[in-house]
Homo-oligomer: A and B are copies of this chain.
Amino acid sequence: MVKVPHRLYLSEDEMPKQWYNLRADMKELPDPMINPGTMKPAAVEDLYPVFCEELAKQEMDNTTRYIDIPEEIQEMYKIYRPSPLIRAYNLEKALSTPAKIYYKFEGNNTSGSHKLNSAIAQAYYAKKQGMKGLTTETGAGQWGTALSEACSYFGIPLTVYMVKVSYEQKPFRKAVMQTFDAGVIASPSNTTNVGRQILAEDPDCTGSLGCAISEAVEKAVSTEGYRYVLGSVLNQVLLHQSIIGLESKIAMEKLEEYPDVVIGCAGGGSNLGGLIAPFMQDKLLGKADPRIIAVEPASCPSFTRGKYAYDFCDTGKITPLAKMYTLGSGFIPSSNHAGGLRYHGMSPILSKLYHDGYMEAVSVEQTRVFEAAVEFAKKETILPAPESAHAIRAAMDEALRCKETGEKKTILFGLTGTGYFDMTAYSAYLEGRMTDYIPTDEDLQRGFNGLPKIPGIQE
Contact = CB atoms under 8 A, between A and B. Distances in A.
Among A109, A149, A383, A418: residue with most chain B CB under 10 A: A383
B420 A172 contact: yes
A152 B423 contact: no
A140 to B, nearest CB: 14
A374 interface: yes
Contacts of A378: 149, 152-153, 180-181
Given A79-B6, A180-B378, A175 B430 contact: yes
Number of copies of this protein chain within its complex = 2
Interface string A228-267: 0000000000000000000000000000000000000000
Interface string A1-32: 00001110101100000000000000000000
A401 interface: no
Contacts of A379: 153
Interface in A141-190: 149, 152-153, 171-172, 175-176, 178-181
A109 B382 CA distance: 6
Nearest to A4: B12
Interface string A394-430: 0000000000000000000000001011011011001
Interface string A82-108: 000000001000000000000000001
A110 B105 CA distance: 13
A360 interface: no
A66 interface: no
Contacts of A220: none
Q: In which size bucket is the chain A interface?
A: 35 or more
A116 interface: yes
Contact of A426 (B108, B111, B179): B179
A111 B179 CA distance: 22
B9 A5 contact: no
A78 interface: yes
Interface string A302-329: 0000000000000000000000000000
A422 to B, nearest CB: 9
A278 to B, nearest CB: 23
Nearest to A430: B178
B179 A80 contact: no
A174 to B, nearest CB: 8
Nearest to A145: B383
B381 A172 contact: no
A176 B383 contact: yes
Contacts of A9: 7, 9
Contacts of A180: 377-378
A436 interface: no
A381 B153 contact: yes
A380 interface: yes
A289 to B, nearest CB: 32
A160 to B, nearest CB: 15
A392 to B, nearest CB: 14
Contacts of A172: 172, 420-421, 423-424
A153 B420 CA distance: 19
A193 to B, nearest CB: 30
27 contacts: A5-B11, A5-B78, A6-B78, A7-B9, A7-B78, A7-B79, A9-B9, A76-B381, A80-B381, A109-B382, A110-B377, A110-B383, A116-B381, A153-B378, A171-B427, A172-B420, A172-B423, A172-B424, A175-B427, A176-B423, A178-B427, A179-B377, A179-B383, A179-B430, A180-B378, A181-B378, A420-B420
Interface of A: 5-7, 9, 11-12, 76, 78-80, 90, 108-112, 116, 149, 152-153, 171-172, 175-176, 178-181, 374, 377-383, 418, 420-421, 423-424, 426-427, 430
Given A80-B381, A109-B382, 10 more contacts: A6-B78, A110-B382, A110-B418, A112-B420, A149-B381, A172-B172, A176-B423, A179-B383, A420-B420, A420-B421
Q: Which 10 A-B pairs have the closest CB atoms?
A: A172-B423, A175-B423, A420-B420, A6-B78, A110-B383, A5-B12, A175-B427, A9-B9, A152-B378, A79-B381
